Amino acid sequence: MASEGINENDNPAIIEGPDEAMVVDLKPADDGLEGSFIWKLNDFSKIKNRMHYSEPFNVAGFSWRVLMFPKGNNTSHLSLYLDVANSSELPYNWSRYAHFKLVIKSQFDEKYDVVKDANHHFNARESDWGFTQFMLLNDLHDQHKGFIVNDQVNIHAFVTVKKLDNTFYMYDSKKETGFVGLKNQGATCYMNSLLQTLFHIPYFRKAVYHMPTTEEDVASTNIPLALQSLFYKVQFHDQSVATKDLTRSFGWDANDSFMQHDVQELNRVLCDKLEEKMKSTTVEGTIQHLFEGHIVNYIECMNVEYKSTRKEPFLDLQLDVKGCKDIYDSFDKYVEIEELAGDNKYRAEGHGLQDAKKGVLFQDFPPVLELQLKRFEYDFQRDSMVKINERYEFPQLLDLDVGNHKYLNADADKSVRNLYELHSVLVHSGGVHGGHYYAFVRPTLEGQWYKFDDERVTKETEAKATEDQFGGEDENPHPGINNPPTFKYTKSSNAYMLVYIRKEDTDRIMCPVTNDDIALHLQQRFKREQEEKERKKKDKSEAHLFTILKVARDADFKLQIGTETYFDLVEHDKVKTFRVRKETPFGKFKEQVAEELGIPVQCQRYWQWAKRQNHTYRPNRPILPAEDSLTVLQVKEQASTHAKNTGMDLKLYLEEYYGPDNIPRPLPLINKGDILLFFKLYDPATSTLSYVGKMFANMNARMMDLTEDINRMAGFPAQEELLLFEEIKFEPNVMCETIDRRTTLSRCQLEDGDIICFQKNTSAEDQIAFSHKSVPDFLEYIRHRQVVHFRRLDKPKDDDITLELSKQHTYEEVTAKLAAQLELSDPALLRLTAHNGYSQQPRPQPFKHYSVERLHDMLVHCHQQMSDILYYEILDIPLPELERLKILKVAFHNHKTEQVEEQQVRLPKESCVEDVLTTFREKMGGGDLVPEGRELRMLEVCYSRIYKVFQANEKIEAINDQYWTLRVEEVPQEERDMAPTDRLINMYHFSRDTSHNAVVHNFGEPFFLRVAETETLGEVKIRIRAKLEITEEEFAKWKFAFVALGRPEYLADSDTITDRFAISKREWGGQWENYLGLEHEDKEKRRPASNHNTRYNYEKPVKIHG
């Protein structure tokens, strides 16, 4: 479907397939074309492919599609991306800039919808973009949230393709606005918006510049220097500024840069860290001076003379958004008085229980007032976080002296005028599971607003920076057939944090910041860094004019062999490099080397390196004096032709000879039939390898003829007996073969550049003490050597033990070496777990005994990438014995349904549920909880509902306690005495949110209750209250309903309960969808622990380690 010419009255395109249905609606946007797309994905559970694409849909002449990884893209999250469907068919230089939003719709309640949006410049290199961690797979499959209903998933995509001309790509933020942006490292927009806000508080910026740093400090490990450098570049440079040095100084790795955090949390952690760094310096107290105010908590008795007060500091204020029209409403709510009366009286010292009023007032406000708007709240009814998108207004001028100083404490200083001007608005666009942050800032508090959106800075109107960020609903700006003009949508972009500056402090806070505020050594340092950056930029732009020559020498071989490298001769990236114009004659290059290294031209001979078929690099062919007239480019091309050297750089070996006086000598002629050999010495006593030199040898000579010369190079007696080996290759396996001393070099098939390794021929007795007896043994060890960092499983971020092991070590050898280091007598008590390179956490399941053969297999993760981390735990019984057992975590509940104890039960896998109950009874030790002879049962509970009662003879091997809660309880006497006509009915606690489709939410502990055939609700209520021991006053607030398929039917006290339940006594409550519901408020007010956690589930807060 072509996008050109489509107007708002066109019908949407509907694409029907056998399993999926799509609806596409195109509408013109202000600066491009907007398309919305609905993907109704049926038979979701039957999708077997790792990647699953939607049908293509057209927006702005491009064919788009949604790409989904149903089981996650190497993560425990559903992965979702927008993809250009026909990218492989487009011209080489195609590109398109688009803003897109992807939504997983809840079919129960739109508040559950998972929404994420992004901007991306789509091109041939990056034709898809999106979210690897779109939403947790556990959340997707949560049946109470309605993402999957009747095996169908609904995905909505909204795409706005921008009509951009060259001005977009040529846009210069500095030129257009006078400001520059900050580069986004992946998901650091939240940090960028905060840094821009802090930068534009000049007093803060000046204090940062005055933090003491030295020439020796390194920005990537020093927070003050990193922040100084970043602020300097933002202030004086013309291009957007990178933040990598700053995040590295925080101690963050690449994963942190791709993990979005909360602006408020980062603000507090950063200010705490800067406050710590500012101590004992000239800027100590800056954070408090700028941002710190004080509140007074008070409790005042109404009938006696008694008042308790407590003064507390604050750096920011969290203001309620829900239920508040504007900031003043929030402040009114903040200082709202709570009455302590009735059962909630206050115990006043010396006066006993008294009626009192409790509240908060402000002692003083700070010069810079940071207001965190509580846009995100935990919804206890839904058991999830939700974003509050309600309309919430904030003024440009905020007067906190309103109402005759009603927000201030009685003894507060009323002479301070608390009138504030709006300085910046930090905005969050998106939903609870992710989104995008940017900031609107008014740098001078006068006139122009600017939008700081990562790298891009633009001028914005006052309305755009303020009113448009109030949130709430708005009418559809692009009406069409699917969305009529009257359709309203909830805006997902709204203010999240506000910064106000007190008017009477404006001159002091908004002071000018000049070069004089920046230490001279910092100016010089930043200038040098900029010059180096400009030089590199110039070099890059002129790179096509130059060739890089990497020149290796014998000194490099001596330095690297045995320390940095063991195979071949040198790592070329660590040798001297020369940047030479391509047209330079090679003879002129020799003169440059002579000048820089002090080696006369006549003492230089160069060899070209060649990459052999076995993937080794060796000097291959000398460059003859006749070739000095060739240009460097010609020599490089010649090297590529003759030596099959396809690298970008020209690699050379500089052959040189020195006399006894260590002065370079002219080079010897290369006789016909001579080859250049290199020699490495291996010492088995110390397991060391070193480079000892080179020599020319005739092809017809025998190795024994070279023995004296080799011994002389090694410093051995002339007749020392040697073992000789040829180092052939090391990938994929080490090949180092013995050389027969009586064989000629020609018969040994030696050639220029070959490496001879040798060692003394020691006695069998001496060899007993050697770890690696020969050169091949040693090289084999080096090839498989691996340093492993072991961490305790309960402290997964802390390196505990580091060991040098072999990748060929077996599981038993690894645990034996680790046990020795831990001084643990039995290695079988150790259990190891692999490292997940994506989450940087332990994998959910440990290794099973004998499940991996070698250390190499333990360290390999996705795509054959290697890790160097393993986690360990010390068991109380040997691992083989433990793995023959089934481990269950079982909770015991008393007659009031309260959990009183949790036990870990370990039994042979062939055991039955009866064995669990017997073991549990023994562990509990009888007593009041489990009296002798009482019958126990085990239940399977999930989401506050009973799903199963286990039979006593049921095998335990298939029971899963990671996804279900196992509960043991005594079978009440009334159930044991049930009459044939009695019913055993499920009793579940629930609440309803009437504002959201009256969805039923279960909570608390479910239980069974015996109900007689003629028993009414009124009679049952008496027994329920007695069982749960609820006060009469509280119980009076409860409602009771028959609930079927999530729909409650409220009952009267006169209703007969069993009329609603057509089930028999032995069906244990029948279908779990039908139950007697106890509706009341969830007093716990806490988030219940998820039953769907993996074995180790770590939340990652913002941390700054520097």
Residues whose CB falls within 8 Å of the CB of residue 152, separated by 6 or more in sequence, listed in order: 40, 41, 42, 44, 107
Q: How far apart are CA 608 and CA 638, in angstroms?
A: 10
Please confirm, yes or no, whether 862 is among the known catalytic residues. no
Q: Which residues contact 541 (CB under 8 A, 6 or more apart)?
A: none
SS3 label, residue 211: coil
- DSSP secondary structure of 11-67: PPEEEE-SSEEEEEEEEEETTEEEEEEEEEE-SGGG--SSSEEPPPEEETTEEEEEE
Token code pair at residue 236? 């004086």
Q: Between the CA of residue 352 and those of 256, 309, 341, 348, 680, what are the distances in Å?
A: 53, 18, 13, 5, 90
Residue entry with tokens 């942006």: 181
With b meaning 16 or more CB within 10 Å and e meaning fewer, what string describes 888-918? bebbbbeeebeeeeeeebebeeebbbbbbbb
User: In terms of Cα–Cα distance, which of 1080, 1060, 1078, 1079 is closest to 1070?
Assistant: 1060
Q: Which of 418, 413, 439 is nearest to 428 (CA)?
A: 439
Relative orientation angle of helices 586-597 and 632-642, to the nearest 10 degrees: 100
- Cα–Cα distance, 552 to 569 (Å, whole number): 9
What Cα–Cα distance (Å) separates residue 363 from each residue in 271, 403, 818? Answer: 22, 16, 59
User: Widest CA span of the chain, in angstroms?
Assistant: 117
CB atoms within 10 A of CB 1102: 20
CA distance 609 to 607: 6
Enter the tokens of residue 361. 């007032």
Peptide bond into 732 cis (omega under 30): yes
Does residue 1080 have an active-site annotation? Answer: no
Cβ distance 104 to 147 under 8 Å? yes
Gap between the Cα atoms of 1080 and 1048, Å rounded: 13
CA distances from 166 to 31, 95, 178, 502 (A): 14, 12, 21, 43
Catalytic residue chosen out of the listed positions 99, 144, 156, 189: 189
Cβ pair 506, 445 in contact under 8 A: yes
Dihedral of the CA atoms 336, 337, 339, 344 (nearest 10)?
70
Catalytic residues: 189, 436
